[in-house]
Structure 1
Amino acid sequence: MPIRQHRPPTDEFVEDFIEHAVPSAIPNDRFIDWDSIDDDVDKYEKQIEAIAGLENATESEFVEGVADALMAADDTREWIDFYFELVGERGNKYSSLEGVWKFYPVQRAIDGGDREEALDLAGVLQNVGLQYIVDEGNVRDHYRGMLVGMESHARKNRQGLCFEDEVEKRVAEVTDRLGEDGYDVEYDDEYTTAYDDDTGQEKTVDFAIFEDGDLAVAFEANCYKVQGSKPSEIRRSYNHVAQRMRNDGVVFVWITDGQGWESMENVLAESYNDIVDVYNLHQADEHLAADLVDDFDDE
């Protein structure tokens, strides 16, 4: 059975959820991962000094200098990655109208002593604008700026990590309250449990509370800053998980939040109707502890 004691009508739940939804799970001080950026800058200090040494070289001197560095590199791929990050490209290859340069075969050829391959790649980098970066600014500052720009991609993963941190605070607080009430409880993250049936299937949940060593409550945590199809897919999946968990005597709780829900009210309503034990952070603060305590008391 669902644990929610405060169960308003669906429209009231949706209105309350949207009113108190957080815009994003990333706090200001984690918007940019400066420690990681500084680590990357330090990691490429040798490459930065080498490429800066080619400032004001002729085009041919620049290409020769980059090729020389590639031929002498202890880790050729590290140098290739750095050069392309300077021009704003990350991945396993570079492609353009003129062709495709797959980094692993290029690295293998250069490591095998193929200077023509090194010169070809150096020529591509010069043509893309690497020499312009070296001649027109501070390479170290430019690289740091490129890493800041690439943070927009990193923030997609950070959104989920930051939200999980917020949910873990609530799970820890609930576990402490249950402990204070005399229950032998503890919690863990990334816990995998097998369903109590003949399928042999397992489910890994973001957080789990155990009572007397047995799984009692499973939590999933998701934050959506923008709308999309994923919440609908997750809702269907979690509805199935919730039913199977309850069949095994385990409470299933979905804590979700984010301004993306503002344009997905229908999906939110379906989630509440199907799963019931759905909370955003505000609602978890208001009701989750009491709901779980009541559920434990009823056992």
Structure 2
Amino acid sequence: MKYLDIYKEKINCKNDEDVFQFILSNLKETIRKLDFFVDWRKVFNNINDIAPKLILLNNLFGKDNVKDEFKNIILNYPEVIEVMPILLAIREKQIKALDINSIDNKFNYIVYNFKRCQKLSNDEVEKVVEFADKSGIFNLFINNKISNLIDYVIGIEVGLDSNARKNRIGRIMEDIVEKFIKEICLKYNYRYIKQAKANNIKRFLGYDIIVDEADRKFDFAIDNGKKLFLVEANYFSGGGSKLKSVSGEFISLFNFIKSKTPEHEFIWITDGLGWRDSHRPLREAFDKIDYVLNICMLENGILEEILK
């Protein structure tokens, strides 16, 4: 790392080792806000898109012969098949299932297609009915456990949305970092852009930059009027092998930037308790990258001083 006097002034760290221990000792336990857990707008937008089809299938509740009634619905309203995967908490519109031939024990795959169509052939209807039957979807209408599919699918959407939390935590970290960057830029009349690709950095900030990958984009690019700062930000709540690969990636990126455009600076802002279990790769990055910061260091004005 590049030791600066501001580390002593701002966080009472007299050397590199003090700074690294400060980072490890001041990792944020969480950056989740209450709107982190479920993206309700996304959930209800997804429901609104398919509500008419679910309402059609609601007619199956209370019917004596669900299979025949279902067949009539999809014959008259073939667009209904589009919602079949979501009833099983699946996003894909094409589902491949293993079929074992009981005679010769051959392993075959049956492909079920639920993309939008104008009309279904008799064979296609039978295939969709087979899917609903063997997958257990018909049980939804005959066991009296639920009363309508819209409420049921809302529950599914909430569950599926929890899988997106990993991506949301990344966006939250970027939002936190941007708050500091925005305040600094307003204070000193600096400029910055988000999700900065090389062409946008040239277009909006006027700097030429060579990138290691054609689609490389930095979380932030900041122009203080004299120099370009490229910033990456991430948060890790848990440890694992990914942290080692991330550290390696940013070491390589830093080295590439310095070899091609040494006048530009690179700042890595990272946080999360995951680093306590993976402090070795973090230490390696800390030793090789000029600026490795955490949120607490931003709170103490370190980023502001570096940009100055």
Corresponding residue of 1:153:
163
* Aligned residue among 173, 176, 180 for 1:166: 176
User: 2: distance between equivalents of 1:97 and 1:202?
Assistant: 38
Deviation at 1:32?
0.6
1:54 CA drift (Å): 0.4
Q: Is the 8 A contact 2:185 2:191 kept in 1?
A: yes
What is the SS of the residue equivalent to 1:121?
helix
Partner of 2:289: 275
Give the alignment partner of residue 191 of structure 1, picking from 186, 196, 202: 196
SS at match of 1:187: strand
TM-score with structure 2 length normalisation? 0.79
* Alignment-mate amino acid for residue 170 of structure 1: F
Q: Gaps spanning 5+ residues in structure 1: where?
A: 180-184, 294-299
CA deviation map 1:250-299 (0-9, x unaligned): 11111111222121011111111111311111112211112221xxxxxx
Q: Kindly state the Cα deviation for residue 205 of structure 1 after the two structures are TM-superposed.
A: 0.7
What is aligned with 2:250? 238
The equivalent residue for 2:241 is: 229
Partner of 1:69: 73
CA contact (8 A) 1:21 1:259 kept: yes
Aligned to 1:116: 123
Matches within 5 A, 1:118-133: 118-133=125-140
In the TM superposition, residue 96 of structure 1 has moved relative to its aligned partner by 4.0
Match of 1:18 in 2: 24
Q: Greater RCO between the two (CA within 8 Å, min separation 6)?
A: 1
Structure 2: give runs of 5+ residues left out of the alignment.
8-12, 100-107, 200-207
Tell me how far apart the structure 2 counterparts of residues 255 and 143 of structure 1 sit (CA, whole Å).
39
164-173 or 221-230: bigger deviation: 221-230
> Please, which of 206, 217, 225 is the counterpart of residue 204 of structure 1?
217
Q: Which amino acid aligns with 2:67?
A: V
Q: CA deviation at 1:43?
A: 1.7
Does structure 2 retain, via aligned residues, the 8 Å contact 1:256–1:278? Answer: yes
Secondary structure of the 2:32 match is coil
Instruction: Tell me the CA shift for residue 15 of structure 1.
Output: 3.2
Q: C-alpha distance in 2, partners of 1:215/1:62?
A: 69
Distance of 1:243 and 1:172 partners within structure 2:
27
Q: 1:198 to 1:36 in 2, by over 3 A?
A: closer
- State the match for 1:91 in structure 2: 92
For residues 20 and 80 of structure 1, the distance between their equivalents in structure 2, rounded to whole angstroms, comes to 52
Counterpart secondary structure, 1:43: helix
Contact kept in structure 2, 1:163 and 1:221, CA below 8 Å: yes
Residue 149 (structure 1) shift: 1.2
* CA shift in 2, pair 1:8/1:268, >3 Å: farther
- Percent identical: 20
Indicate how the Cα distance of structure 1 residues 123 and 203 shifts in structure 2: closer, same or farther if over 3 A, else same.
closer
**Equivalent in 274, 280, 292 of residue 307 of structure 2:** 292
Per the alignment, residue 205 of structure 2 pairs with none
Q: How far 1:89 sits from its partner (Å)?
A: 2.4
| Matched residues, number | 280
